[in-house]
Amino acid sequence: MKLVKNISLIVLCAILSCCKQPEGGLMYYTSAGQYETVSVTPPPADAQVRNVILMIGDGMGLEQISCAWVLNHGKLNIDNFPVVGLSRTYCTNSLITDSAAGGTALAVGQKTAIDHVGCSPDGTPLYSILSKARELGKKTGCVTVCHLADATPCDFCCHDECRDNADALIADYLDCGVDFIAGGGRDYFGPKRKDGRDIVEEMKAKGYNYASDEQQLMTAPLPVLGLMSDWNLPVAAERGDLYRHMVSRCLDLLSSESGEKGFVAMLEGSCIDDWLHANRIDLAMEETLDFDRTIGDVLQWAEKDGHTLVVVTADHATGALTLQDGDIAEGRIGVEFGNDGHNGIAVPYFVWGPGAGAFGGTVENCELSNIISSFIK
């Protein structure tokens, strides 16, 4: 994902001055506060899978998770997952993938080329697990921290050979049929479009209920288009529980409207990647910790439901991050970045709920998608 250049975020970075880089090259960070993690019990292994929730931490490799674990004093909600494996992230034309190709593999069950969004290397549209769910009469949702023109949400809803074709990608939301769409990116839907179209009005004409803030989102019925900001959502320290509330509203609406057919949702912690590209360990870690808090919310919801498969993974890892020092009791880490881009290291995946026994071991990212897809029926 592209890094925002925003003066307000620079000011916030100065405020979050716990991050410092002393002599020796290590960057140290101590998180602002510890949070309590949840403890959940999976349903019986033979329970029916009615709902599927795929959570993607963009850029969140094992190294980022390890750092977050130390910052929260040796506890994460992701520790609840009984099944863990590895996913290989390379794409068809590069060992080092991007969010377009990596996310498409997770969305459609087929590897593709760099920059390709929801399509094969030759540009043929490929349809995601959300499309499959819709065809089966299930409800669907897509919730993200970033703007909706970014690669990962588009991988599940749109089709284009180039992730930078924002106007065309946003127009694809008109025909994606996803019931609950929420994230940032108002500017991409109207005011700054080169073609002059107002996609919000066009989606309203298709029956979508538009929400431009949290209060409206919490009362809007399906189908929903929620645009919570002009670009990405505010950084974790500024947005509070906004993303968590967006996810909660998505799950409640989809479950109440889907009945026995169930639903499929993709929930992305997008901006972990942005701040890793910037080598800002403070902001990247606060995004990771907020994503883990959201994972806790989802697990508690799934435990009550009893028929929900939850999978958490990443499209790739970012920053060549290494954890070289720190203290669990103090919630402090000392890290070093190897680059400001992606790497080719396999990323972990975590599985909870009915059907979890079908997962485990090392798989291709597209195969992970295909296993998930086997439970959408």
Residue 39, helix vs strand vs coil: coil
* 212 classed as catalytic: no
30, 330 contact by CB (below 8 A): yes
Do residues 122 and 245 make contact, with C-beta atoms less than 8 angstroms apart? no
Q: How many Å apart are CA 306 and CA 298, to the nearest integer? A: 12
Q: What Rg, from alpha-carbon coordinates, does the chain have?
A: 19
Is 312 in a helix, a strand, or coil?
strand
H or E segment to which residue 361 belongs: strand 361-364
Active-site residue, from 31, 99, 229, 255 = 99
> 10 Å Cβ neighbour count for 290?
25
- 3-state DSSP assignment of residue 22: coil
Residues 6+ apart with CB under 8 A from 211: 182, 217, 220, 224, 225, 226, 227, 228
- The residues annotated as belonging to the active site are 99
